[in-house]
């Protein structure tokens, strides 16, 4: 019964989310005003087949990560999120685990910055949500799974990013993110996913292990970054990282100086990215 009710709740909440509120194109015939299953799957980072099986009550025991991702994609309130966890037979994550719930105020801010590249990360630098301009600038993250969604892992053990660094800037960035991850591990010692991430990074990256064991210190600061975009070329932008008090979220925002060639390139790549998504 709980499995069936979980599926009914997901379907009910899916029907009420307008696609435009999630940054998705509205074109084409829609039988219902809400999200399609494939859109929910893309936003939550899970397969369409799994969403179908969950809604039909044919999949049981979804993980806490899947429930959290669904709650985020469905824009659930705190009470609704807790209810979804209960329907899944899980305890709502407590204060000893890395918060992954995006608060309504952060959602509202994302909606108001629809033309600016913005991404929201948790305290372990795992990507929670990225708006279409951010995806156009840095690459579409909708197909990323597991560690692929973690910025620290991508830098040290994965494919990296489109950001270009001088040796000095790279050193400062690496010290800052390792120090940030160490601080998160100290704040959330019971978070098994975070402990596993650190262990995998130490095993797969000599550079990360060196910085971790040396107690490297640093902090995230506003920086000027050059992004090597495959279609429009290099774009130099201001990158600011804001921390949300009370939820430990990190909001990364890229902006260009008005009237510059970089501003024109940012506007162009945003349009190109939007056209790709629509197509």
Average pLDDT across each block of 10 residues of the chain; the chain has 279 residues. List them in order. 82 88 67 84 87 89 89 90 91 85 86 90 94 92 88 95 93 93 92 94 96 83 89 95 89 95 94 57
Domains of the chain, earliest start first? 2-87 (1.10.260.40), 104-278 (3.30.450.180)
Q: Distance of CA 196 to CAs 40, 148, 247, 259, Å?
A: 27, 14, 22, 45
The confidence score (pLDDT) of residue 1 equals 46
- What are the DSSP E strand ranges found in the chain? 118-121, 127-130, 163-164, 223-229, 233-244, 249-255
Closest to 119 measured CA to CA, from 144, 105, 100, 138 = 138
Cα(132)–Cα(22) distance, integer angstroms: 9
Contact 135, 141 (CB under 8 A): yes
Per-residue model confidence (pLDDT) at position 60: 80
What confidence score (pLDDT) does residue 246 get? 82
Give the pLDDT score at 238.
96
Looking at residue 279, what is its pLDDT? 31
Backbone φ and ψ for 202, nearest 5 degrees, come out as: -65, -35
Residue 125 gets the label, from left (phi > 0), alpha (psi -120 to 50) or beta, of left
Quick one: which of 269, 209, 200, 208 has its CA closest to 234? 269
């Amino acid at each position: 019964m709980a499995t069936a009710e979980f599926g009914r709740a997901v379907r009910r909440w899916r029907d009420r989310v307008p696609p435009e509120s999630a940054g998705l194109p509205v074109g084409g015939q829609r039988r219902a005003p809400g999200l399609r299953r494939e859109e929910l799957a893309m936003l939550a980072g899970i397969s369409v087949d799994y969403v179908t099986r969950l809604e039909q009550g044919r999949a049981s025991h979804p993980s806490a990560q899947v429930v959290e991702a669904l709650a985020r994609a469905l824009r659930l309130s705190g009470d609704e999120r807790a209810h979804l966890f209960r329907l899944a037979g899980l305890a709502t994550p407590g204060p000893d685990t890395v918060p992954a719930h995006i608060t309504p105020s952060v959602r509202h801010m994302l909606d108001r910055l629809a033309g600016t590249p913005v991404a929201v990360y948790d305290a372990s630098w795992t990507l929670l949500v990225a708006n279409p301009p951010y995806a156009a600038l840095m690459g579409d993250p909708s197909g990323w799974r597991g560690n692929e969604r973690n910025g620290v892992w991508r830098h040290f053990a994965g494919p990296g990013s489109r950001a270009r660094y001088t040796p000095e800037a790279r050193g400062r960035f690496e010290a800052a993110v390792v120090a940030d991850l160490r601080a998160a591990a100290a704040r959330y010692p019971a978070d098994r996913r975070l402990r596993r991430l650190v262990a995998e990074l130490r095993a797969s990256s000599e550079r990360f292990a060196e910085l971790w064991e040396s107690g490297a210190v640093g902090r995230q600061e506003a920086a000027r970054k050059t992004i090597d975009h495959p279609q429009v070329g290099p774009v130099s932008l201001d990158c600011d990282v804001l921390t949300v008090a009370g939820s430990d979220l990190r909001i990364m925002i890229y902006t260009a100086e008005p009237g510059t060639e970089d501003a024109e390139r940012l506007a162009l790549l945003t349009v190109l990215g939007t056209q790709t998504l629509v197509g």
